[in-house]
Amino acid sequence: MTATLALDYAAVFVFALTGALVASRAQLDIVGFVFMACLTAVGGGTMRDVILKRAVFWVEEPTYIFVASLAAVLVFFTAHVLESRLKAIFWLDAVALSVAVPAGVAAAVDQGASWPIVLIMGITTGCLGGLMRDVVCNEVPLVLKQGELYVTCALAGAVAAVLTLTAAGPLPLALLLCGAVTFALRAGGLAFQWRLPVYKSQPPRS
């Protein structure tokens, strides 16, 4: 199993869990759970593959949809036991992000893409599925919350991978560092309320 394949499967499963948990908060039926799980799980990877002109990963291998659907059914029957589904969503999303960003980086590297494209594909793969999930369920997207470290985490992780590869480091090490940096920043944001400064307009002078 290649690095991209393994990372894609892991990202699909964990992102699907977050999509299904959001569906539970919206009190959807089981079909809604499966839809939200699949949308979240494959959204970022689909856009990545379309942009890179690759075969879309879940069209090439429909098992990804089965994995996402399995996660949805699992959450449908177990979500009620969680003390805080919102907290679970945040932490599972952090794990998914730290897997999906390396998956995007690996796919771009496999295509021989230049480093700016590697960065963009890492961010796209990591962030787009969650953005779609939150928009469809009428939630404020995590990627757009004031000062939230989210896209920043994806960018930092992708930069860590690019720097490692530029220094002639092996791809597995680059992907490992990518995931570690992404998760460390996102976890810090959740645990310690790390935030970026936000724009505050000044009143016009009279």
- Tell me which amino acid residue 173 is: L
DSSP 112: T
Domain containing residue 149: 3-192
pLDDT, tens digit, for every residue of 172-194? 999 999 999 999 999 999 999 99
Confirm whether 200 is domain-assigned: no
Q: 78 phi and psi, to 5 degrees?
A: -125, -10
Q: Is residue 143 part of a domain?
A: yes
Could you give the CA distance from residue 107 to residue 117 in angstroms, rounded to a whole number?
11
Is 107 inside any structural domain?
A: yes
Q: Is residue 197 part of a domain?
A: no
Number of domains in the chain: 1
Give the model's pLDDT for residue 84: 83
At residue 4's C-alpha, the angle toward residues 91 and 161, to 5°, is 70
pLDDT band, very low/low/confident/very high, at 86 (cuts 50, 70, 90): confident
Q: State the virtual CA torsion across 28, 63, 157, 166 in degrees, nearest 10.
A: -160
pLDDT cut 70: percent of the chain above it: 98
Side chain identity at 48, as an amino acid letter?
R
Residue 83 within a domain: yes
Model confidence pLDDT, tens digit, residues 102-141: 999 999 999 999 999 999 999 999 999 999 999 999 888 9
User: Between vectors from CA 16 to CA 10 and to CA 17, what angle results, nearest 5°?
Assistant: 95
Burial of 64 (0-12, 13-18, 19+ CB in 10 A): buried
Non-local (6+) Cβ contacts of 51 within 8 A are 121, 124
Question: 3-class DSSP state for residue 148?
Answer: strand
Is residue 16 in a domain? yes
Q: How many CA atoms lie within 13 A of 139 on its CB side?
A: 21
List, as one string, the DSSP characters of 165-200. HHTT--HHHHHHHHHHHHHHHHHHHHHH--B-----
Q: Would residue 94 count as lying in a domain?
A: yes
Segment 59-63 long-range contacts (CB within 8 Å, at least 24 positions apart): none
Report whether pLDDT(83) > 90. no
What pLDDT is attached to residue 206? 56
Asked if residue 204 is part of any domain, the answer here is no
